[in-house]
Structure 1
Amino acid sequence: MKESFREMRSETYSPEYIARWRWSIVTLFAVIAVILLGFFIDAVSSPSTGEAVMIFLFLFCIAGSLAGWLAYEMIRNKDEKISGLLINHQGILFLNRNDKVLSAIKYYDLVKSDNPYTKDIFSESRASGKYSDFRKNLYVYEKDENQKSKKKLVSLDVIPLKNRYDLIGHFLKGIQAFRPDLKIDPEVYKDFYLDEKTLRYAPQNLKSDMKVKIVTIAVVIMVILAFRYFFLDEV
């Protein structure tokens, strides 16, 4: 079984491209923070409500913190950073630039859910509320220090990936091969745009989902701008 299960490595972009992309994100958040700071100063200097002042201050703190954290992640020790993923008969291995294993999610460390009504492998959003299904993540169960079943996030978003969904599909294929006792929620295939038979990424399943997300983002941006330029100007 081990010999017949092929390895799959992460496909990513060139280091130079990734560096430019990451610094672009840092710059974007820094610019957003500056803009929000300007909105905050305007709100403080105008007879606006205290609620508006707190909103802009809160958003400024978030954007500034993200910019600072991303910049720190860019300059910290590269040997401690994940630069590649490998999925083989063991599970998911997170590797540094020298192919040293930094961490792993192994098939035989996975356990069944304590809840008989919950699948052992499932997807859900980190967020909650109206937009809870905006971005789904894969979850499994492992034992905690008390030997109890504990939900664990399978995060592949540690590096920019070209083949994220294929990697998820290959990991699920490994679970089917090495841990057939674990039950996979059928919604997982839908949430990660996988063909249920081959467990390969099916791009056509992504197109309609992306349209909904783009419209949602546009609506959120319009609401923020409307709040800034209409409600504050009336105060």
Structure 2
Amino acid sequence: MNSEKSFPSIESKISLFPTLMLQGLLYGVMLMGFGFLILLPAYGIYKRGIEVMLIPVLICFPIGFGILIPSVKHYIIKRNPVASKIIINETGLLYCNSKGEIASKILYSDLIASGKEFDVLSVLPPSSGVMPMLEVFTASEKEGRAALRIEMNLPLHVVSDRLILYAHFLQGISIFRPDLKIAPQVFQNYFIDPKTWKVNRKSAGYLFLILVSGVLLICGLILWIVMTFA
């Protein structure tokens, strides 16, 4: 690993309005779910008695608690361990929580050769949406050799500089792990000039606009479904 070359640290930037929309939608759905699945049946018991409300309670309470308890535990009670910032520096890719603690990390030293023509690839799984995911290979004593797919995203946050993060991480691989080969398709998918490691901002701007529009559309669609059928 070459640690002599200067390599600045960069952090993720959050797009405020889409992030607030996404978080507001989630907490709003959780609140409405609590109201319709827990409070209304409980109020029905108070007004009509348990005999009348037994079947609705047996249906609503398990569904409500089954959804709300894991959601509250993950997004509210245990918010500190959840990553809220991405840092890329000379050690690798770090996902940090609101306290600045490292929730997870991918170090350059952990990367290994794929055994294929290229060691760093980009893939588009069905669930990943518009943006491809970066695929690298790691090895550890516990898990052994494994393919790891990286998406520059954060829970309940819309990252506005995802392409810049990809470019910086790839540049870090080229500096600290020159033994690994990056597939040319990776640079095309993330609009990166491999000579300068700069992102084509015009193409990236169009992609970001599509991503934000998609997030807002999905938020609006979910909200409409909830308001219509709740």
Name the structure 1 match of 2:19: 18
Encode CA deviations 1:158-204: one digit per residue, 9 max, x unaligned: 23212111011000000000000000001011111222222222132
Q: Is the 2:9–2:89 Cα contact (8 Å) retained in structure 1?
A: yes
Q: Is the 1:121–1:138 Cα contact (8 Å) retained in structure 2?
A: yes
SS of residue paired to 2:90: coil
Encode CA deviations 1:70-128: one digit per residue, 9 max, x unaligned: 676432422111111111110011111121112110001100013x33x1100001129
Give 5+ residue unaligned stretches, structure 2: 33-65, 212-230
Output the TM-score relative to the length of structure 1: 0.61
5 Å matches for 1:104-183? Answer: 104-114=105-115, 116-117=116-117, 119-127=118-126, 134-145=130-141, 148-158=144-154, 159-183=157-181
Task: Report deviation, 1:12.
Answer: 1.6
Q: Which one-letter code corresponds to 1:106 in the other structure?
A: L
Counterpart CA distance in 1 for 2:67 and 2:195 is: 40
Q: Percent same amino acid among aligned pairs?
A: 24
Q: Which moved more, 1:192-201 or 1:181-190?
A: 192-201
SS of residue paired to 1:79: coil
Name the structure 1 match of 2:10: 8
185 and 70 in structure 1: CA distance in 2 versus 1, 3 angstrom threshold: farther
Q: Is the 2:163–2:204 Cα contact (8 Å) retained in structure 1?
A: no
5 Å matches for 1:27-42? Answer: none
Higher relative contact order (CA 8 A, sep 6+): 2
Q: Which one-letter code corresponds to 1:199 in the other structure?
A: W
Q: Is the 1:82–1:96 Cα contact (8 Å) retained in structure 2?
A: yes
Aligned residues: 176
What is the aligned-residue RMSD (CA, Å)?
3.7
Is 2:190 the partner of 1:192?
Answer: yes
Counterpart CA distance in 2 for 1:68 and 1:182 is: 44
Counterpart CA distance in 1 for 2:111 and 2:170 is: 12
Q: Is the 1:23–1:71 Cα contact (8 Å) retained in structure 2?
A: no
Counterpart CA distance in 2 for 1:71 and 1:200 is: 40
SS of residue paired to 1:103: strand
Counterpart CA distance in 1 for 2:201 and 2:191 is: 7
12 and 133 in structure 1: CA distance in 2 versus 1, 3 angstrom threshold: closer
136 and 202 in structure 1: CA distance in 2 versus 1, 3 angstrom threshold: same
Give 5+ residue unaligned stretches, structure 1: 32-64, 214-235
Task: Report deviation, 1:144.
Answer: 4.6
Q: Is the 2:119–2:136 Cα contact (8 Å) retained in structure 1?
A: yes
Encode CA deviations 1:15-69: one digit per residue, 9 max, x unaligned: x9734432225658999xxxxxxxxxxxxxxxxxxxxxxxxxxxxxxxxx99997
Name the structure 2 match of 1:62: none
